[in-house]
């Protein structure tokens, strides 16, 4: 088969793939599970069985329940309501009874010596319980795998050594749910319970053990199906904004990169379609933090194309033929794309493994998007571009030409850049201190971070969420004198849940009176309880440790790939700088620190490291080709100048998409988009103006230490 026929066939198959996946995208969109903020879900309230449970036990139970319900969705929220209640909001589901049945009744669990009734271990000494299906001698077997805490492992080792051949009964709420025989001493803290006839029975036992390991016994108080926090308007405007932003992106790529831009349009279109289809196929729950992960991965997909196309322009400007320039462009861009994507994938894996809630949701969509973006950039775009060339697009003018630019002396201004950054960070530290002195809080913490008051109101009419935003929220905020009110509808009723900052008794009375006067509601049907933060202390710790470990592993990877500690330190210090600047903006501008705050910070971490690696990759290449009379200062300035158009274009395309989201979105969407726009600007600034300068300073120290 001739090259022309192969190219025609490849292009036809690619276009058919875009059309086919476009149809699947249309079909899959309604099937994507949306989070509480976008689509609502089930809300369950439990009450502690014992009177006046301790804060420690309640907080521990909240954290363990959070881990339990993440099996339904990583975006599930668990928080305290009042002193003895725990509320669970699970997005993307609508059958409360099914959830209650599968989740189980949180009661007491003990393991006892079945002969003498002595306690062996208690439920809170079980770290995890998992149903397992495996093949043994061509036969399918079902069992439950237990992992114990250190204390539990020690007690279990002693008991099982003594009770070989005897039964250890598992008793849940005074009922024997399993009575296995000890086969051998179990000393490693891991045990299996066999003998289940079906996978369902194994899962039922595992679920009972998991829910029974909670410290505090709970009883169900109520369960409701609740509506979205943001409403249909937020979803529709976000989709329109995404479509407009993507259209602007396509026009930009076509104008700036011509034929390569057309190839990228096919690749990026297929990328978006694949991500949507995979979200639906894997039944992943999509929320605002998840959208942040997708925005970042779209930015990296565009970035990969920009790196390649800039390289092609350079090769043509250097005198190569179009065919040779295309091959060289993909070849020379490969290391930067791989290194940038792998560091981000490392971050996504660590954040998913160690994080919880919002962090897991962000990591899932980011990891998925990165894998798909690498595939489309390195294979789909390349196939399309080669096909266009073979079919007649051979004129160099259709690809553009980039000759050596006048080298900009960035390095000489390094102290100016560093001084400006230090001043901004110091201003942030001072502002944080002043905020704490004035208000008692370092930042403007939202309900998700500091808790508040949940008020349930039954209206005389069935209000839409848009009506609630337009009519009810202003009335509420005249009492609270603070923005950030969250509202949810209880499906099938006229009941609305209103979440605000914590209200005093006087403010609760004032709010009740305002609702009665404005809407004629029955004051007797208004109830209020204080609620804890949906982002618990443990979740914050998980997020911090996950970010620390992700940063450390990225540093190690960069050190291995670039073979110099100065590269790793330069990239990580630039990353830390970006986070500190963004946090400074949160302090000075008093942006609300809510659940999207974590996602915004993580987005900037991923964006910053990728932008820096592109410059470092060019520095590594130039250092390898360094002539004897060339200084490292010249190499640094040359590398930044060579990649400057890529830095600007990649950042501009991502910024435009988020800007459209900011302009068209509802208030909660804008609250999420604004920090990301600032972060994109800061990340570009640090990559261009700081990262290489930090490398240069550390490299000089390394060189001196070796002498």
Percent of the chain with pLDDT over 70: 90
What average pLDDT score do residues 522-527 get?
A: 85
**Given this model, what pLDDT does residue 226 score?**
66
More confident residue, 421 or 230: 421
Unique residue bearing structure tokens 């618990």: 536
567 touches 259 (CB < 8 A): no
| % of the chain with per-residue pLDDT over 90 | 19
Is the pLDDT assigned to residue 231 strictly greater than 60?
A: no
Q: What is the pLDDT of residue 358?
A: 66
User: What is the average pLDDT value for the chain, to the nearest integer?
Assistant: 83
pLDDT at residue 292 is higher than 70: no
The residue behind tokens 């009723």 is 493
Which span out of 214-228, 437-451, 676-690 was modeled with the highest average pLDDT?
676-690
Q: Cβ of 2: how many Cβ atoms within 10 Å?
A: 8
pLDDT in tens, 562-584: 888 899 889 889 989 999 999 99
Position 689 scores a pLDDT of: 93
Q: How far is CA 390 from the centre of its chain?
A: 41
Query: What is residue 418's predicted lDDT score, i.e. its pLDDT?
Result: 95
User: In the structure encoding, which two tokens stand for residue 525, read together?
Assistant: 């049907």
Residue environment code for 349-384, b if the CB has 16+ CB neighbours within 10 A, otherwise e? ebbbebbbbbbbbbbbbbbbbbbbbbbbbbebbbbb
Average pLDDT for residues 632-651, to the nearest whole number?
89
Paired residues of 67 in beta bridges: none
* pLDDT computed for residue 297 by the predictor: 74
β-bridge mates for residue 86, sequence order: 46, 80
For the chain, give me the number of helices (H) and strands (E)?
22, 19
pLDDT of residue 441: 82
Residue 574 to residue 566: CA distance in whole angstroms: 12
- The answer to whether residues 367 and 349 touch, using CB atoms and an 8 Å cutoff, is yes
The predicted pLDDT at position 582 comes to 92
pLDDT of residue 217: 74
Query: What confidence category does residue 138 fall into, taking pLDDT thresholds of 50, 70 and 90?
Result: confident
CA distances from 402 to 149, 325, 581, 670 (A): 62, 12, 34, 37
Q: Residue 83 has which token pair?
A: 């002193």
Six token digits for residue 78: 């668990």
Question: How many residues does the structure list for the chain?
Answer: 707
**Where do we find the tokens 């009492």?**
479
CA atoms within 13 A on the CB side of 163: 26
Contact 695, 639 (CB under 8 A): no
What radius of gyration, in Å, describes the C-alpha atoms of the chain?
29
- Per-residue model confidence (pLDDT) at position 242: 77
* Residue 496 host element (H or E): strand 495-500
Task: Give the residues across from 297 on adjacent strands.
Answer: none
Of 186-200, 357-371, 672-686, the range with the lowest mean pLDDT is: 357-371
Interval 48-73 mean pLDDT: 77
Residue 215 phi, psi dihedral angles, 5° rounding? -70, -40
Q: Which residue has the higher pLDDT, 473 or 430?
A: 430
Neighbours of 92 (CB within 10 A): 23
CB 33 within 8 A of CB 72: no
- Residues 655-683 have pLDDT tens digits of 888 888 788 876 667 777 888 889 889 99
pLDDT at 691 over 90: yes
| Residue 157: band (very low, low, confident or very high) from pLDDT cuts 50, 70, 90 | very high
Which pLDDT score, from 0 to 100, does residue 414 have?
92
Q: How far apart are alpha carbons 386 and 381 in whole angstroms?
A: 9
User: What number is the average pLDDT over the span 191-214?
Assistant: 82
- Six-digit token string for 277: 């289809």
> Which is it for strands 126-136 and 119-122: parallel, antiparallel or unpaired?
unpaired
Band (pLDDT 50/70/90 cuts) for residue 490 is: confident
The helix, strand and coil proportions of the chain, stated in percent and rounded to the nearest 5, come to: 65, 15, 20
What pLDDT score was predicted for residue 538?
64
pLDDT band at 229 (very low <50, low <70, confident <90, very high): low
**Close Cβ partners of 192 (under 8 Å, ≥ 6 residues apart):** 132, 143, 144, 145, 146
Q: Does residue 622 have a pLDDT over 70? A: yes
Phi, psi angles (nearest 5°) of residue 675: -60, -35
In this prediction, residue 263 has a pLDDT band, given cuts at 50, 70 and 90, of: very high
Give pLDDT, residue 40.
66
- Does 415 have pLDDT greater than 60? yes
The rounded distance, in Å, linking the Cα atoms of 659 and 677 is 7
Rounded to 5 degrees, what angle do the CA atoms 563, 569, 571 make? Answer: 95
In contact, 34 and 91? CB cutoff 8 Å: yes
What is the pLDDT, as a whole number, of residue 233? 60
For residue 51, the model assigns a pLDDT of 81
Predicted confidence band at 230 (pLDDT cuts at 50, 70, 90)? low
* Cβ 40 vs Cβ 227: under 8 Å: yes
The mean per-residue pLDDT over the stretch 73-82 comes to: 76
Tens digits of residue pLDDT in 83-126 = 788 888 887 666 666 776 666 566 678 899 888 888 999 887 88
pLDDT attached to residue 103: 65
* Average pLDDT, integer, range 140-144: 90
Asked if the model's pLDDT at residue 128 lies above 90, the reply is: no
Q: Mean pLDDT check: name the lowest of 186-195, 353-362, 386-395.
A: 353-362
| 507-508-509 Cα angle (round to 5) | 90
Query: pTM for the whole thing?
Result: 0.71
Min mean pLDDT across 433-442, 541-550, 695-704 is at: 541-550
What is each CA distance from 185 to 81, 110, 377, in whole angstroms?
43, 19, 55
Q: Residue 8: which of 315, 389, 328 has the closest Cα?
A: 389
Q: What is the mean pLDDT of residues 291-302?
A: 73
Q: Sorting pLDDT into bands at 50, 70 and 90, what band is 494?
A: confident
């Amino acid at each position: 088969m001739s090259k022309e026929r192969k190219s025609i066939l490849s292009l036809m198959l690619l276009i058919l793939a875009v059309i086919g996946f476009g149809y699947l995208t249309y079909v899959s969109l309604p099937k994507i599970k949306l989070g509480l903020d976008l689509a609502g879900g089930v809300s369950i309230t439990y009450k502690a069985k014992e009177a006046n449970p301790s804060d420690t036990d309640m907080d521990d139970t909240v954290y363990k329940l959070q881990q339990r319900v993440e099996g339904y969705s990583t975006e599930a929220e668990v928080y305290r309501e009042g002193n003895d209640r725990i509320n669970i909001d699970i997005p993307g589901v609508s059958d409360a009874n099914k959830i209650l049945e599968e989740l189980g009744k949180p009661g007491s669990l003990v393991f006892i010596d079945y002969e003498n009734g002595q306690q062996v271990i208690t439920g809170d000494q079980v770290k995890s319980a998992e149903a397992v299906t495996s093949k043994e001698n061509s036969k399918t077997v079902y069992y439950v795998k237990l992992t114990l805490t250190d204390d539990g492992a020690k007690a279990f080792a002693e008991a099982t050594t003594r009770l070989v051949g005897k039964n250890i009964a598992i008793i849940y709420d005074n009922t024997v749910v399993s009575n296995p025989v000890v086969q051998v001493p179990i000393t490693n803290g891991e045990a299996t319970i066999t003998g289940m006839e079906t996978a369902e029975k194994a899962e039922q036992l595992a679920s009972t053990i998991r829910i029974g390991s909670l410290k505090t016994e709970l009883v169900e108080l109520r369960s409701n199906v609740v509506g979205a926090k943001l409403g249909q308007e937020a979803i529709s405007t976000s989709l329109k904004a995404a479509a407009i932003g993507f259209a602007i992106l396509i026009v930009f790529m076509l104008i700036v990169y011509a034929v390569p831009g057309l190839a990228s349009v096919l690749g990026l279109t297929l990328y978006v379609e694949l991500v949507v289809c995979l979200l639906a196929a894997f039944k992943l729950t999509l929320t605002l933090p998840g959208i942040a992960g997708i925005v970042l991965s779209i930015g990296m997909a565009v970035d990969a194309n920009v790196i390649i196309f800039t390289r092609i322009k350079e090769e043509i400007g250097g005198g190569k033929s179009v065919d040779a320039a295309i091959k060289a462009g993909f070849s020379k861009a490969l290391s930067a794309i791989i290194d940038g994507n792998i560091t981000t994938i490392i971050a996504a894996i660590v954040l998913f493994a160690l994080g919880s809630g919002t962090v897991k949701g962000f990591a899932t969509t980011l990891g998925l998007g990165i894998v798909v973006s690498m595939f489309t950039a390195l294979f789909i775009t390349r196939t399309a571009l080669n096909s266009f060339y073979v079919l007649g697009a051979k004129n160099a003018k259709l690809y553009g030409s980039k000759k050596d630019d006048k080298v900009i002396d960035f390095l000489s201004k390094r102290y100016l850049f560093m001084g400006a950054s230090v001043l901004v960070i110091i201003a942030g530290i001072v502002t944080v201190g002043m905020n704490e002195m004035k208000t008692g809080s370092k930042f403007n913490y939202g309900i998700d971070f500091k808790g508040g008051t949940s008020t349930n109101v039954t209206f005389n009419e069935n209000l839409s969420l848009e009506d609630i935003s337009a009519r009810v929220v202003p009335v509420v905020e005249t009492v609270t004198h603070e923005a950030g009110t969250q509202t949810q509808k209880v499906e099938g009723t006229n009941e609305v849940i209103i979440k605000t900052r914590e209200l005093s008794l006087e403010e609760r009375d004032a709010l009740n009176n305002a609702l009665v006067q404005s809407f004629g509601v029955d004051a007797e049907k208004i109830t209020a309880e204080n609620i804890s933060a949906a982002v618990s202390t443990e979740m914050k710790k998980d997020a911090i440790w996950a970010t620390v470990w992700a940063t450390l592993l990225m540093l190690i990877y960069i050190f291995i790939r670039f073979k110099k500690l100065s590269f790793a330190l330069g990239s990580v210090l630039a990353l830390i700088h970006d986070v500190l600047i963004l946090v400074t903006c949160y302090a000075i501008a008093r942006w609300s620190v809510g659940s999207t705050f974590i996602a915004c910070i993580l987005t900037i971490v991923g964006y910053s490291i990728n932008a820096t690696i592109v410059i470092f990759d060019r520095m590594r290449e130039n250092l390898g080709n360094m002539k004897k009379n060339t200084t490292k200062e010249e190499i640094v300035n040359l590398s930044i100048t060579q990649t400057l158009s890529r830095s600007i274009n990649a950042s501009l395309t991502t910024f435009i998409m988020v800007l459209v989201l900011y302009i068209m979105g509802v208030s909660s969407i804008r609250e999420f988009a604004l920090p990301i726009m600032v972060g994109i600007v800061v990340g570009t600034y640090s990559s261009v103006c700081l990262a290489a300068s930090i490398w240069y300073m550390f490299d000089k120290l390394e060189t001196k230490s070796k002498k």
